[in-house]
A and B are shown apart, each in its own frame.
Chain A
Amino acid sequence: MIEVRALEKRFVGGPAVLRGVSLAVAKGAVAVVIGPSGSGKSTLLRCINGLEPFDAGEVRVGELVLPPGVDPKKDARLLQAVRRRVGMVFQALHLFPHMSVLENLVAGPRHVLGEAREAAEARALELLLRMNLRDKARAMPRDLSGGQQQRVAIARTLLMRPDAILVDEPTSALDPATANEVLAVMVELARDGQTMIAVTHSFRFARRAATQVHVLADGVEVESGPPERVLEAPEHEVTRALLEAERA
C-alpha cells in the first residue's frame, strides 16, 4: 500500500532530518512510528503526503511514485492524487476556524470529491454520531474541547475515504482522560481495517492497535518489528530508554 524507500531529507542550511528511512505498510496494517523529539517522525509523514519535498529515495502509494524534489506547482496533479489516497491528521489539527464542524467535514467531499451537499452531510453526521459528536455539528471549532477537536480532525480526514491515513501525535496535547477518548476512536478504526501510519512518542496506542512498530532516532530507523517483539524485547537502547521514560 505505502512504501518508503531510503528516504533522505535535509532542510536548507540545517542538519539531515531523515537519513535513509525505509518502511512498508500493507493494506489494513497499522504502523506506529515512535521515537524521541526531533527524530524526524513528523517530517517522515509530511514527506509521504508530499507536503515536504525530499532529497533522495522515493515514496510509493499504490502505483503512484513520488520522486525526490517534487514541486508543489509542477507536480500538483501527482500530489493531489497521492493526497486523495493518503489522508493526513495534523498534530496542530488545522481545523478551519471560519467553518462549523459540519462545514469542516464536508468541505473536502463537496469540493474535492464533488459530492452533493446532502449526501456529504449525511455521511458526516453518521460519522459524528459514531464519534459521539453528533450534537456538535453546528458548533464552531473553537467552542470544542481539545479531544473533540482532535476527533473532528480525524473525521474530516476519514470522510475523504482515503486508502490510508497519517496521524501525527494524536494525543500529545491532551490530558490523559481526553487522550483515552481519542485513542478509543483510533483503536476502533484500526480494528475496522483502516490502514494507518501513526506517529507518537507514547506506546499506548502501539500496544493496543499496532501491527508493526518502527523506532526512529536521529533520522534513522534503529529498530522495527511486530509490537510484541519491539515492546517486550527491545534490542536498541533508544527503544529501552523510551520504555523506561513511559514507566516513570
Chain B
Amino acid sequence: MLALGALVCFGRVAHAGDLEEIRQRGRLVWGADQEGGGPYVYPREDDPRQVTGFEVELAELFATALGVKSELAQGNWDKLPDLLRTGKIDVVLNGYEWSAERATTMAASMPYYVYGLQLLVRKADASLASWDDLGTPGASGDKRRVGVLTGSAAEEHVRRALGDRVTLVSYDGNTDAMREVETEKLDATLQDTPIASFYAPRFPGLRPVGAPVGKGYYVVYARAGELGLVQALDRATVELLATGKLEALYRKYGLWDDAQAELFAIARMARFYGVPAAAALGDGAPRAPAAGAPSPGPSGDAGGTQSTGGAAGSAPPPAAGSEPAASDIVRLGERKRGWEVVRDYAGILVESAGLTVVLSLLSFPLAIALGLAVAIGRLYGPRLVRAPLGAYVELLRGTPLMLQLYFIFFFLPEVGVRLPAFATAILGLAVNYSAYESEIYRAGLQAVPPGQMEAALALGMTRGQALRRVVVPQAARIVIPPVVNDFIALFKDTSVCSVITLVELTKRYSVLSMSTQATIELMLMTAVLYLGMSYPLAVVSRRLEKRLGQRALVT
C-alpha cells in the first residue's frame, strides 16, 4: 500500500497542451503505432532501432513549421485517441481516417492524404476478375473469404458492399490478411492504398483488382477545442502543398497519385481564412496531372464497375521536374530470411527483452509484499478489514489485467492522478498479481499448524513477532513452487503492457514481424528469448525448494 502511495505521489505529471505549450516545450509529441507498419511508421530495415515512414517525415515537417522538434510516442493504434484525451500526446498522426464520429470528440486538421481501398487477390486465382466475382461462390461452392483490418474503413466498406454474400475475416495486423491471401486461407483482402502499394513487392503472389474504392481522408487529430494547434497544422499543410514538399515526400514513398489533387482543392479554400500560401496555389487545375490514371471511385461505391487497368501499386506519372531521384525512393528490400533476420534483429529483440525483465523484477517483489500484507490482514487482521481485503482480491482476480492497466493509465488521469507508462505497468502488474499472491500465502499460512503460533505466543512473542519469526518463514517454504509459477506467469504477462505504450518483447516482435514479414524467424527468436529467461527461474526454484526442503517441515 505504501508503495502504491509512493508511485502515485512521485508519478510525473504528464504535460501536453495547446500550441503555446508545444512551442514552450520545443517538442511536438505525436502518437503512432509502429506495428501499423509501412509506409506510415515502421522500423528502418537497416537499423530497426530507428523509425521511418512518410508520417515520420511528415511529423518532422509539421514540427519544423511550428518551430519545434518532433517526438514520436508509441501507442497501440486503437488507443491513440485515449492517449490524446489524457494528455499523453499532442496529436494523433497515424493513418487516422476522418470520420464524423471522431470529429465530434477530437479536433481534425485538413486532410494530409487522400486514400482509397484496394482489393487484392491471388495472381493465380483467375476466378476473381472484378468486385462482382467476389459476390459469387468459389469453386468449392463456399462464400469467398475476405480479410480486413479490424475496425477499419475497409471492413465497413466490404460489409456495406457485399453484406452476407462474403465471409468477413478480421485481422489486427495490416499485412496479416495479405499473407493469408497468398497462403490461400483467404480469397481476397481490402487494404488502404498506401499499404497495398508499399507492400506489393513483399507479396508477389498478389494482384490488384479494379481501381481503388471508398475514398477517405487521413487527418491529424488534436484534442477537442485545440483550434490554435489545428490551424497551425492546416497552415503548414497548405504551405507544404504550395512548395511541393508534400508531393515530393509522397513520391518518395510511391504514394503520390491523382487522388491527391483533391488536397489542392481543399487547400485553396484556406485563402479565405487568411492563409497566405493558399493564394500561391492559384485557381486553376492542380499541379499534378492525372494522365492515364483512373480517378478513384466515389465514396462508398460498391460494385465491380470500376475501370480496370489502374492499380494502386503503380503510381501515375509524376509531374515534370518533381520526380525524385531513383536513389531517394523508399522501397522495401527483399524479405530477409533465416540467419539474416537473426543477425539484424536479435539485438533489438534482446533490448526489448530487457524491458520485460525490468518490468518483472520491479513489479514482482511489490506483488509479494502487497500479497503478504493482504493475506495476513485477511487471516489475522481485525474483522473490519477482512471484508474489504476479500473484495480487493476478488475484484483484481476477477477482472483482466489489461482492463486494470487501462484504468490506471486512461481513467486515473481524468481524476487528476497521472502516472507515466512505466510506473503504471509496475503498479498494475504488482497490484494484479498481489491478489493471486495473497491467495497463495493465505493457503500457505493456513498450512502451518496452529500450534506453531501458540508456541511462539507462549514464549511471549507478540502476534507480529510470531508471524515474522515462526509462521511466515514456514509458510514461505510451502509456497515456493506456486510463487515461482506466478513469477513466470507475470513475466509473460508483461506483454500486456504494450496496451499502455510500452514496447516490450512481444510488442517488438509484432512491430518487426508486421514490417518485415519474417514472421517465423522472429517468432522463434522471441520464443527462445522467453524460454531462455524463464527456464533458469524454474531451475533456481527447484534448487531452492530442495535446499529449504532439507530444513523443513513438521516435527
**Chain A residues at the B interface, C-beta cutoff of 8 Å:** 49, 51, 72-73, 76, 79-80, 83-84, 87-88, 90, 92-98, 107-108, 111-113, 140-142, 149, 156-157, 160
Q: Is the CB of B460 within 8 A of A108?
A: yes
* Partner-contacting stretch, out of B9-17, B394-402, B469-477: B469-477
> Would you call B280 an interface residue if the criterion is a C-beta within 8 Å of the partner chain's C-beta atoms?
no
Checking A73, A96, A98, A142 against B455 with a beta-carbon cut-off of 8 angstroms, the contacting residue is A96
Q: Is the CB of B555 within 8 A of A107?
A: no
Q: Is the CB of B555 within 8 A of A93?
A: yes
Within 8 Å CB of B463, what residues of A? 72-73, 76
Q: Is the CB of B555 within 8 A of A112?
A: no
- With the chains together, A225 CA to B454 CA distance in Å? 32
The distance from the CB of B555 to the nearest CB of chain A, in whole angstroms, is 5
Interfacial residues of chain B within 447-466, with CB under 8 A of chain A in the complex: 449, 451-452, 454-463, 465
Q: Is the CB of A111 within 8 A of B465?
A: yes
Q: Is the CB of A51 within 8 A of B555?
A: no
> Would you call B553 an interface residue if the criterion is a C-beta within 8 Å of the partner chain's C-beta atoms?
yes
Within 8 Å CB of B459, what residues of A? 83, 87, 107-108, 112, 156-157, 160
- With the chains together, A212 CA to B474 CA distance in Å? 40
Q: Is the CB of B554 within 8 A of A97?
A: yes
27 pairs from A and B in contact (CB 8 Å cutoff)? A51-B454, A51-B457, A51-B458, A73-B463, A80-B460, A83-B457, A83-B459, A83-B460, A90-B454, A90-B455, A94-B454, A94-B555, A95-B555, A96-B455, A96-B474, A97-B474, A97-B553, A97-B555, A98-B474, A98-B477, A108-B459, A108-B460, A111-B461, A111-B465, A112-B460, A149-B555, A157-B459
- With the chains together, A46 CA to B459 CA distance in Å? 13
A-B residue pairs, 7 tightest by C-beta: A94-B455, A108-B459, A88-B458, A94-B451, A112-B460, A84-B460, A83-B460
> Would you call B382 an interface residue if the criterion is a C-beta within 8 Å of the partner chain's C-beta atoms?
yes
The distance from the CB of A166 to the nearest CB of chain B, in whole angstroms, is 9
Within 8 Å CB of B454, what residues of A? 51, 90, 94
Q: Is the CB of A97 within 8 A of B462?
A: no
Q: Is the CB of B458 within 8 A of A83?
A: yes
- For B465, the closest partner residue in chain A by CB is A111
- For A110, the closest partner residue in chain B by CB is B469
Given contacts A97-B553, A98-B552, A108-B461, 19 further A-B contacts (CB under 8 A): A73-B463, A76-B462, A80-B460, A83-B458, A83-B459, A83-B460, A84-B460, A87-B459, A90-B451, A90-B458, A94-B452, A95-B455, A97-B552, A97-B555, A98-B474, A111-B465, A140-B551, A142-B555, A160-B460
Point out which of B382, B459, B463, B552 has the most chain A C-beta atoms below 10 A from its C-beta: B459
- With the chains together, A79 CA to B460 CA distance in Å? 8
The distance from the CB of A46 to the nearest CB of chain B, in whole angstroms, is 9
- With the chains together, A87 CA to B457 CA distance in Å? 10
- For A153, the closest partner residue in chain B by CB is B455
Q: Is the CB of A80 within 8 A of B455?
A: no
Within 8 Å CB of A90, what residues of B? 451, 454-455, 458
Within 8 Å CB of A157, what residues of B? 458-459
Within 8 Å CB of B470, what residues of A? 96, 107
The distance from the CB of A137 to the nearest CB of chain B, in whole angstroms, is 15
Within 8 Å CB of A149, what residues of B? 555
Q: Is the CB of A142 within 8 A of B460?
A: no
- With the chains together, A94 CA to B459 CA distance in Å? 11
- With the chains together, A93 CA to B455 CA distance in Å? 8
Within 8 Å CB of B456, what residues of A? 96, 107
- For B382, the closest partner residue in chain A by CB is A73
Q: Is the CB of B469 within 8 A of A111?
A: yes
- For B477, the closest partner residue in chain A by CB is A98
Within 8 Å CB of B553, what residues of A? 97-98, 142
- For A88, the closest partner residue in chain B by CB is B458
- With the chains together, A112 CA to B466 CA distance in Å? 10
Decide yes or no: A49 and B460 within 8 Å by CB, A97-B474, A98-B477, A98-B552 being known contacts.
Answer: no
The distance from the CB of B465 to the nearest CB of chain A, in whole angstroms, is 6
The distance from the CB of A112 to the nearest CB of chain B, in whole angstroms, is 4
Within 8 Å CB of A83, what residues of B? 457-460
Decide yes or no: A98 and B555 within 8 Å by CB, A108-B461, A160-B459 being known contacts.
Answer: no
Within 8 Å CB of B462, what residues of A? 76, 80
Within 8 Å CB of B382, what residues of A? 73
Q: Mark B541-555, 1 if CB is under 8 A from A, else 0.
A: 000000000011111
Q: Is the CB of A112 within 8 A of B455?
A: no
Interfacial residues of chain B within 213-235, with CB under 8 A of chain A in the complex: none
Q: Is the CB of B452 within 8 A of A96?
A: yes
Point out which of B451, B463, B553, B555 has the most chain A C-beta atoms below 10 A from its C-beta: B555
Q: Mark B525-555, 1 if CB is under 8 A from A, else 0.
A: 0000000000000000000000000011111
- With the chains together, A28 CA to B451 CA distance in Å? 28
- With the chains together, A96 CA to B455 CA distance in Å? 8
Point out which of A49, A76, A79, A96 has the most chain B C-beta atoms below 10 A from its C-beta: A96
Within 8 Å CB of A49, what residues of B? 458
The distance from the CB of B285 to the nearest CB of chain A, in whole angstroms, is 88
- With the chains together, A140 CA to B552 CA distance in Å? 9
The distance from the CB of A61 to the nearest CB of chain B, in whole angstroms, is 13
- With the chains together, A131 CA to B194 CA distance in Å? 89
Point out which of B456, B460, B469, B474 has the most chain A C-beta atoms below 10 A from its C-beta: B460
The distance from the CB of B449 to the nearest CB of chain A, in whole angstroms, is 8
Within 8 Å CB of B451, what residues of A? 90, 92, 94
Q: Is the CB of B465 within 8 A of A112?
A: yes
- For A109, the closest partner residue in chain B by CB is B459
Within 8 Å CB of A95, what residues of B? 455, 555
The distance from the CB of A217 to the nearest CB of chain B, in whole angstroms, is 26
Within 8 Å CB of A72, what residues of B? 463
The distance from the CB of B214 to the nearest CB of chain A, in whole angstroms, is 70
- With the chains together, A109 CA to B307 CA distance in Å? 95
- For A108, the closest partner residue in chain B by CB is B459
Point out which of A51, A83, A97 has the most chain B C-beta atoms below 10 A from its C-beta: A97
- With the chains together, A98 CA to B472 CA distance in Å? 11
Within 8 Å CB of B469, what residues of A? 107, 111
Interfacial residues of chain B within 94-151, with CB under 8 A of chain A in the complex: none
Point out which of B449, B457, B462 has the most chain A C-beta atoms below 10 A from its C-beta: B457
Within 8 Å CB of A108, what residues of B? 459-461
The distance from the CB of A60 to the nearest CB of chain B, in whole angstroms, is 18
Within 8 Å CB of B452, what residues of A? 94, 96
- For A81, the closest partner residue in chain B by CB is B460
The distance from the CB of B37 to the nearest CB of chain A, in whole angstroms, is 56
The distance from the CB of B291 to the nearest CB of chain A, in whole angstroms, is 86
The distance from the CB of B76 to the nearest CB of chain A, in whole angstroms, is 47
The distance from the CB of B328 to the nearest CB of chain A, in whole angstroms, is 71
- For B554, the closest partner residue in chain A by CB is A97
- With the chains together, A160 CA to B460 CA distance in Å? 9
The distance from the CB of B119 to the nearest CB of chain A, in whole angstroms, is 70
The distance from the CB of A116 to the nearest CB of chain B, in whole angstroms, is 17
Within 8 Å CB of A160, what residues of B? 459-460
- With the chains together, A79 CA to B462 CA distance in Å? 9
The distance from the CB of A6 to the nearest CB of chain B, in whole angstroms, is 24
Within 8 Å CB of A73, what residues of B? 382, 463
Interfacial residues of chain B within 405-463, with CB under 8 A of chain A in the complex: 449, 451-452, 454-463
Within 8 Å CB of B457, what residues of A? 51, 79, 83
